[in-house]
Structure 1
Amino acid sequence: MNLLLFVGGLAALLGGAEMLVRGASRLAAATGLSPLVIGLTVVAFGTSAPELAVGIGAARSGATDLAVGNIVGSNITNVLLILGLSAAIAPLTVSRQLIRLDVPVMILCSVAVMLLTLDGRLSRIEGAALFAACLGYLGLLLWLALRGDDDAAGQDVATAKVSRGLAGRAIDLALIAAGLALLVAGAGWLVEAATSVAEALGVSELVIGLTVVAVGTSLPEIATALLAVLRGEREMAVGNVVGSNVLNLLLVLALTAVVSAQGLPVGDAVVRFDLPVMTAVALACLPIFYTGHCIRRWEGAVFLAYYGAYLAYLLLDAAGHDALPAYSAVMMRFVVPLTALTLGMLVLRSLHYRRARARNLQGDER
Structure 2
Amino acid sequence: MDAIILVVSIFTVLITVQKGLCRGIDHLASALSWSPKVRGQVTGFATSIPEFAALISTALNGVWAAGLWNIASSNIINVVLLIIAVCWYRQYRDLWNKHFIDEMLFAGIAVAFPLVLMHFSMDQSPYTIPILLFFYLVYRLSDRVFNRAQTGPDVEGEESGSTKLGLLYIVGSIAIISVAGDFLGTSAKAIVNEMEIPVIFVGWLLGFITSLPELTTFFKVYSAAKKKGTLGGTDDTQEVLDNLTGSNMSNVGIIYPIALLTFLLVT
TM-score, length of structure 2 as denominator length = 0.69
Partner Cα separation in structure 2 for residue 130 and residue 50 of structure 1: 20
Shift in CA distance, 177/261, structure 1 to aligned 2, threshold 3 Å: closer
Residue of structure 2 aligned with 1:220, choices 213, 227, 230: 213
What amino acid maps onto 1:169 in structure 2? T
1:124 aligned partner:
126
Structure index of larger Rg: 1
Report the CA distance between 1:203 and its aligned residue.
Answer: 2.8
The C-alpha deviation readout for 1:215-267, integer Å capped at 9, x for no partner, is 22223323333433433384333332222112211122222333332999xxx
The equivalent residue for 2:228 is none
2:242 corresponding residue in structure 1: 239
Distance 1:135 1:34, change over 3 A: same
Letter in 1 for 2:100: I
Cα distance change on mapping 1:263 and 1:202 into 2, 3 Å: closer
1:108 is aligned to 109
By how many angstroms is 1:130 displaced?
0.9
Q: Equivalences for 1:1-366 in 2 at 5 Å?
A: 6=7, 10=11, 13-14=14-15, 16-40=17-41, 42-80=42-80, 82-87=81-86, 89-92=88-91, 96=97, 99-122=100-123, 123-138=125-140, 140-141=142-143, 147=148, 149-151=149-151, 158-159=152-153, 168-178=162-172, 184=177, 188=181, 202-210=196-204, 212-232=205-225, 234-235=236-237, 236-261=239-264
Secondary structure of the residue that 1:121 maps to in structure 2?
Answer: coil
Q: 1:50 to 1:89 in 2, by over 3 A?
A: same
- Residue type of the alignment partner of 2:82: L
Report if the CA contact (8 A) 2:75-2:111 is conserved: no
Considering Cα pairs closer than 8 Å and 6+ residues apart, tell me whether 1 or 2 has the greater RCO: 2
| Residue 209 of structure 1, CA deviation | 0.7
TM-score where L is the length of structure 1: 0.53
Q: CA deviation at 1:179?
A: 5.5
Quick one: which amino acid aligns to residue 135 of structure 2? A
Once the two structures are TM-superposed, the CA of residue 90 in structure 1 deviates from its matched residue by 2.7
Aligned-pair CA distance for 1:23: 4.2
| Identity within the alignment, % | 22
Residues 103-162 of structure 1 show CA distances to partners (whole Å, capped at 9, x for unaligned) of: 1123334445554444312321222221133244335546777x4x233xxxxxx33688
- Cα deviation code 1:67-119 (max 9, x no counterpart): 22111111112122x22553464335659576221211233344455544443
Q: Secondary structure at the match of 2:264?
A: coil
CA distance in 1, matches of 2:183, 2:98: 34
Any conservation in 1 of the 2:53–2:178 contact (CA below 8 Å)?
no
Cα 1:57–1:84 change in 2 (3 A) is: same
Gaps of 5+ in 1: 152-157, 265-366
What residue number does 1:292 align with? none
Cα 1:262–1:78 change in 2 (3 A) is: same
- Check conservation: 1:51, 1:71, Cα contact below 8 A: yes
Cα RMSD after superposing both structures: 4.2
Offset at 1:15? 6.2
> In the aligned structure 2, how far is the partner of 1:186 from the partner of 1:202?
25
